[in-house]
A = this chain, B = another copy of it.
Amino acid sequence: MNINENYLNLKDSYLFALVAKKVSEYKAQNPGKEIISLGIGDVTLPLAPAVITAMGDAVAEMGRGATFRGYGEYQGYMFLREAICGYYGKKDVHLDKSEIFIGDGAKSDLGNILDIFSTDNTVLIPDPVYPVYVDTNIMAGRKIIYMNGNTENEFLPLPDSRIKAGIIYLCSPNNPTGAVYDKGRLKLWVDYALENDAVILFDSAYEAFVRDRELPTSIYQIEGAKRCAIEFCSLSKTAGFTGVRCGYTVVPHELTRGGVPLNELWLRRQTTKFNGVSYIVQRGAEAAFSDGGYAQIKESIGYYMENARLIAEALKALGIWFAGGENSPYIWLRCPDGMSSWEYFDALLTRANVVGTPGAGFGANGEGFFRLTAFGDRDDVKKALDRIRNI
């Protein structure tokens, strides 16, 4: 038996492990110090009451013979796909329920979607980047071309007609940079994809954090995108579902390549290698999209975004360049005084007892930058910012 040798080309991801190691070493040497993390990529507020009620009811249903449910629909229960269609309707995006696939999270679908593409496609990936886009393609042996995100392009790289690629990753609002494509720039990508017969994998996991009504919250708000883009969404950050696990992927019927509808290929992939999301979780997700549930969720998002505003305000006052924080839970800052990412990490840890994430961990263009997140407790955020001001 031969293993998939492409796995041997993966680099070990030391980023979060090294962060954890440095923090625990510092703690051991300085037992009295209180460390505050602004590096956390996980939500901290509890689930919305509407979601809790819906999941509690669903659990009870599963305990009674008359209401028990076994295998669900392959693409997800109709009640949830209807709720998601309604959600898209408010964005002026009109989808058919058969274009929506319920999954256990954007990460799974972003990895598994590659199954339907040939390994001979060249892949275009922004740098800095969510490492999963890179690793999943290395595992399949695909050729990767990076596109540079930097302060000149506001960490929003644009297409270069000289570069040819079959698969393009875009993440907007971006993790880690917090940058958001406006409609004009996103249109350039849609046009490029249509011209080059490429497919855009659009990671929309943070769309619910966009507050500027002029910014797109779905790539399908751009003319032509249904013919070239697959969109990945998640309830992880939107509704605090990181531990509940639910996301959805949109594959429009108009999207065909070589005469084959990608919707059919993805349906075949999912019916063969997946068996749906827990009924209980799908009821929770449905509640998240209800009017009452969505209002509760928006409150949590508002709490996080107030954290982001406080962080942004402090950075502005300190004269530190940053992106994000207005329409995204991530703040991406340039390390002060020409420090490298890890130098700034060490300075923040030892002098302010604050933890963040070194930008260099997200790719070569991340060197000299640093990521803060808005997912912490309000009092902790305030305390951390006071300490940063004082160093």
A residues apposed to B, CB below 8 Å: 1-5, 7-8, 10, 42-47, 49, 51-52, 55-56, 59-60, 62-65, 68-72, 104-105, 107-108, 111-112, 115-121, 132, 135-136, 139, 166-167, 197-199, 240, 242-245, 257-258, 260, 262, 265, 268-269, 272-281
Contacts and interface: CB of A to CB of B under 8 A. Distances in A.
Contacts of A277: 104, 245
A68 B44 contact: yes
Given A107-B273, A280-B244, A2 B45 contact: no
Contacts of A118: 2-5
B70 A242 contact: yes
A116 B2 CA distance: 9
A261 B245 CA distance: 29
B71 A242 contact: yes
Contacts of A7: 116, 260, 265, 268-269
Contact of A64 (B46, B68, B274, B280): B46
A117 B47 contact: no
Contacts of A240: 68, 70
- Pairs A-B, 5 closest by C-beta atoms: A111-B273, A52-B63, A42-B70, A1-B166, A2-B118
Given A62-B244, A274-B107, A280 B1 contact: no
B104 A275 contact: yes
A45 B55 CA distance: 20
B258 A132 contact: no
Contacts of A104: 104, 274-275, 277
Contact of A62 (B47, B108, B198, B258): B47
Contacts of A279: 243-244
Contacts of A51: 63
Given A45-B68, A70-B44, A268-B7, A245 B275 contact: yes
A242 B132 CA distance: 29
Contacts of A56: 56, 59-60
A167 B2 CA distance: 9
A55 B44 contact: no
Contacts of A135: 272
A55 B47 contact: no
Contacts of A8: 260
Given A1-B197, A46-B62, A244 B278 contact: yes
Contacts of A197: 1
Contacts of A117: 1-4
Given A105-B275, A107-B274, A244-B278, A121 B265 contact: no
A327 to B, nearest CB: 22
Contacts of A272: 111, 132, 135-136, 139
